[in-house]
């Protein structure tokens, strides 16, 4: 039986009592009651309930745990498995319009990739391969949720910079004991840090000259010394009318501080091995599988944007203008490009030596090159189509006040009454212009890494030889 219902998930996170700091205060008591986290925890809980309501789509029987577990943990072995994963991921994302960038299936998919390919972590006289396999098994058995962190603090990004001051900034191993490694310092960011069961800490490039920076592990979010320092909350209120998206899907981002955290050896799956650190993401197909999830979510988000844009143009009756249709065509093209790239990755999938049916990385890599660049344009299109409607947005309270009749008259649109029109435009504003929406744009730009360096990665990894040969053959 699948272990976790939404309410179980919430009480589990409450009971962890993770050390989460917001607005200069440590959260005491239930984090699920805190205004900054209430909405997102409910939305995450809804995902667990969705799985329990439709087990055929969202669960499978694992031969490792001999139980029913969440779809994200399933090793795809056939093309049909990939199709099923696509459908399940898509339906989960639809429940939040693709706005939960780190729904539990995101990192859980990565845990699956690491767990299945555990042998690449093998080292003589160490248990690193077993450790990551056990983390995978435990995550499956308990339907755990993870945040992950892989970037060092943004102190100095110049080419030659290497942190060597006595005051530690980027998290590093400062001691080894018979129980484990002691980690001190910080990692730049973890979305949902503090509201997941575990934190997956992955090797971060940049400081690799020293062994102390070469490590990977997963630990419970309530491990002593582990602190999550949050940015300010973008939940501006609980009203569904006023803040339709932020009230439900504000994920929060936090700095992760390791204040001499003891990471038990059985939680470490990489240490001091630079070669594994450099190759693990490609060899385990970690990035490919994460992108499979992420591009699916982006498709759902683009469907939402298209639906929103189409509803707006009909509400104020601007569809007859050519430029309006042209702008909608840009959104349609984005959607079809993203869908085609994902389809291509499934169509060209191949079995690897771990017996995993791996989607083709090339189209997924193109999609993650393309979307961070096009997403801000999609947001701009909604802003251009909405005009002042994106700004003149009285609150729910105003509609219930003595001046509501003015609002009903002056804010009506051709095809909707004033209340529904403002409700629609507030949705658009929350996606494009509120603090929640602006963070969404920054998230899509950066969530898989710096787009500039990802572009370099695409060029470097793309097989170009056959096209060069074409030119040589022609010239000769
Ligand atoms: C909303 C949000 C949520 C996130 N969530 C997570 C998360 O859950 N977990 C996680 O681990 N990370 C997360 N990230 C971090 C994300 O991975 C990083 O933002 C991304 O890798 C870029 O790193 P950076 O922010 O340090 O930017 P930088 O690397 O500091 O880049 C800043 C600028 O400098 C340029 N630059 C820097 N170095 C170079 C270089 N070597 N060559 C060329 N140009 C360079 C960049 O192109 C960019 O213009 C999140 C980021 C955001 C914005």
User: What is the arithmetic mean of pLDDT over 157-178?
Assistant: 91
Residue of the CA atom closest to atom 2 of ligand 1: 443
Between the CA of 297 and the centroid of ligand 1 the distance, in Å, is 20
- Which residues sit with their C-beta closer than 6 Å to ligand 1? 102, 147-151, 154, 157, 188-191, 253, 439, 442-443, 446-447, 449-450, 452-453
CA of 442, closest atom in ligand 1: 53
Residue of the CA atom closest to atom 27 of ligand 1: 450
Between the CA of 455 and the centroid of ligand 1 the distance, in Å, is 13
Percent of the chain with pLDDT over 90: 95
Out of 2.40.110.10, 3.90.1170.50, 3.40.50.2000, 1.20.140.10, select the CATH number for domain 285-475. 1.20.140.10
> Is residue 376 scored above 60 in pLDDT?
yes
The sign one gets for the Cα dihedral 361, 363, 366, 372 is negative
**Least trusted range by pLDDT, from 104-113, 152-161, 177-186:** 152-161
> Is residue 428 scored above 70 in pLDDT?
yes
- Look up tokens 């396999």; give the residue: 133
- Tens of pLDDT, residue by residue over 303-337, are 999 999 999 999 999 999 999 999 999 999 999 99
> CATH says 6-279 is which class?
mainly beta
| Probe residue for ligand 1, chosen from 447, 455, 459 as the CB with the greatest number of ligand atoms within 8 Å | 447
User: Three-state SS string across the chain, please?
Assistant: CCCCCHHHHHHHHHHHCCCEEECCEECCCCHHHCCCCHHHHHHHHHHHHHHHHCHHHHEEEECCCCEEEEHHHCCCCCHHHHHHHHHHHHHHHHCCCCCCCCCCHHHHHHHHHHHHCHHHHCCCCCCHHHHHHHHHHHHHHHCCCEEEECCCCCCCCCCCCCCCCCCCCECEEEEECCCEEEEEEEEEEEECCCCCCEEEECCCCCCCCCHHHCEEEEEECCCCCEEEEECCCCCCCCCCCCCCCHHHHCCCEEEEEEEEEEEEHHHEEEECCHHHHHHHHHHCCHHHHHHHHHHHHHHHHHHHHHHHHHHHHHHCCCCCCHHHHHHHHHHHHHHHHHHHHHHHHHHCCEECCCCCEECCHHHHHHHHHHHHHHHHHHHHHHHHHHHHHHCCCCCHHHHCCCCHHHHHHHCCCCCCCHHHHHHHHHHHHHHHCCHHHHHHHHHHHHCCCCHHHHHHHHHHHCCCHHHHHHHHHHHC
Task: Give the span between the Cα atoms of 4 and 48, in whole angstroms.
Answer: 7
Task: Give the span between the Cα atoms of 370 and 363, in whole angstroms.
Answer: 10
Domain layout of the chain by residue ranges: 6-279, 285-475
Residue of the CA atom closest to atom 4 of ligand 1: 447
> Is residue 165 scored above 90 in pLDDT?
no
Between the CA of 435 and the centroid of ligand 1 the distance, in Å, is 19
User: What is the arithmetic mean of pLDDT over 59-86?
Assistant: 97
Residue of the CA atom closest to atom 5 of ligand 1: 191
Between the CA of 445 and the centroid of ligand 1 the distance, in Å, is 9
> Is residue 12 scored above 90 in pLDDT?
yes
> Tokens in use for 151?
């970037």
For residue 58, what pLDDT is reported? 96
CA of 192, closest atom in ligand 1: 8
With CA atoms as reference, report the closest residue to 252 among 38, 401, 423.
38
For residue 334, what pLDDT is reported? 98
């Amino acid at each position: 039986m699948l272990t976790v219902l939404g309410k179980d998930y919430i009480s589990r996170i409450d009971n962890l009592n993770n050390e989460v700091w917001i607005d200069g205060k440590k959260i005491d008591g239930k984090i699920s009651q805190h205004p900054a986290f209430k909405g997102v925890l409910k939305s995450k809980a809804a995902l667990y309930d969705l799985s329990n309501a439709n087990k055929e789509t969202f669960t499978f029987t694992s031969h490792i745990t001999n139980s029913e577990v969440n779809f994200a943990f399933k090793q795809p072995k056939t093309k049909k498995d990939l199709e099923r994963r696509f459908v399940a991921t898509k339906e989960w994302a639809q429940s939040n319009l693709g706005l939960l960038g780190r729904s539990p299936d995101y990192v859980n998919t990565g845990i699956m990739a690491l767990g299945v390919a555990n042998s690449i972590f093998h080292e003589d006289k160490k248990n690193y391969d077993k450790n990551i396999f056990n983390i995978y098994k435990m995550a499956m058995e308990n339907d755990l949720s993870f945040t992950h962190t892989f970037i060092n603090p943004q102190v100095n990004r110049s080419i030659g910079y290497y942190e060597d001051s006595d005051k530690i900034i980027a998290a590093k191993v400062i001691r080894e004991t018979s129980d484990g490694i002691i980690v001190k310092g910080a990692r730049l960011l973890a979305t949902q840090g503090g509201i997941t069961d575990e934190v997956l800490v992955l090797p971060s490039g940049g400081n690799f000259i020293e062994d102390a920076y070469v490590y990977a592990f997963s630990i419970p979010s309530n491990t002593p010394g582990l602190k999550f320092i949050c940015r300010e909350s973008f939940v501006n209120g609980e009203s569904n009318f006023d803040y339709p998206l932020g009230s439900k899907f504000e994920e929060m981002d936090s700095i992760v501080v390791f204040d001499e955290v003891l990471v038990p050896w059985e939680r470490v799956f990489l240490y001091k091995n630079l070669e594994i650190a450099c190759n693990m993401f490609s060899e385990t197909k970690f990035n490919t599988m994460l992108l499979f999830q992420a591009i699916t979510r982006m498709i759902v988000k683009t469907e939402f944007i298209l639906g929103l844009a189409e509803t707006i143009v009909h509400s104020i009756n601007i569809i007859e203008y050519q430029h309006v249709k042209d702008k909608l065509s840009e959104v349609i093209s984005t959607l079809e490009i993203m869908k085609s790239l994902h389809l291509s990755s499934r169509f060209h999938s191949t079995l690897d030596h771990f017996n995993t049916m791996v989607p083709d990385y090339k189209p997924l890599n193109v999609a993650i090159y393309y979307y961070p660049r096009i997403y801000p344009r999609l947001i701009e299109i909604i802003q251009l189509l909405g005009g002042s409607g994106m700004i003149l947005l009285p609150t729910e309270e105003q509609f219930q006040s003595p001046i509501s009749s003015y609002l009903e008259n002056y804010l009506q649109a051709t095809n909707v009454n004033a209340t529904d029109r403002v409700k629609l435009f507030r949705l658009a504003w929350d996606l494009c212009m509120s603090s929640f929406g602006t963070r969404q744009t920054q998230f899509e730009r950066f969530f898989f890494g710096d787009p500039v360096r990802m572009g370099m990665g695409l060029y470097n990894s793309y097989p170009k030889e056959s096209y060069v040969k074409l030119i040589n053959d022609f010239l000769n």
